[in-house]
Amino acid sequence: MPSKRWVITGASRGIGLATAKKALSQGDHVAVLARRINLPVLRAELGPNALMLATDVADPNSVQTSLGRIRETWGSIDVLVNNAGLHRGRKLARLDTADWDAVLATNLSGPMHCIKAALNLMGDGGAIVNIGAVVGFRGFPGDSPYGASKAGLAGLTQVLAVELAPRNIRVNLVVPGLVLSEMTSAVDEKAMSKLLERIPLGRIGRAEEIAAVICWVANSTYMTGAVIPTDGGLMAQF
């Protein structure tokens, strides 16, 4: 099987980095897009088949510049993973409008900018994998910006699955649950215990587990418009 060329946003850490490593381990090439990139560290971690590009997905000009570089380097791409995300939240009465705007710009407009730019490089058989969140389907107090952005991304996934099917480009949504990350490591023990009580499998997930699902979805040639929870049963619990 010929190697694929991936574009993964938010790929300098967490699920994005784990997905990049998984794709590279399969012999594929990966363009790592992130706002902040530590080039020496990522080069050492990812090796010569990775292309690192500092990119702000909320800025369409930044996205166009990075995709232009990818076109110059590879000519085309096979997979786009919209993983970059921003989380800010408070209950609505105390929510700063600037935080709302920033979250929507990154989590919803960002994937739209990336998809529009990527479609010029993606041919028949391409795959787009959007990364959702449980809060896009279930209500959590204080998470209105994040929840709204991820619910919107779910809707965008459905629309584009139908819109792009004539081009044989598949669009799916992977929905991680609580995953071990820098953000969750800051949660205190009591709060973490309460969160774990709501997860049927009784533990948080690992980025590598989500990455394995993302790669499977990207390679599933008769799947489009699907929502794939990878959350330890969290959505089933509610």
Q: Which residues are catalytic?
A: 146
8 Å CB contact between 190 and 147: no
CA distance 54 to 199: 35
First CA to last CA distance, the chain: 41
Task: Count CB atoms within 10 A of the CB of residue 152.
Answer: 18
Beta strand spans in 35-141 (E) = 50-54, 77-82, 122-131
- The sign one gets for the Cα dihedral 188, 191, 195, 197 is positive
8 Å CB contact between 175 and 202: no
Q: DSSP 3-state assignment of 227? A: strand
Phi, psi of 70 (to 5 degrees): -65, -40
Q: DSSP 3-state assignment of 179? A: strand
CA distance 157 to 10: 18
Nearest to 226 by CA among 175, 177, 176, 173: 173
CA distance 28 to 214: 14
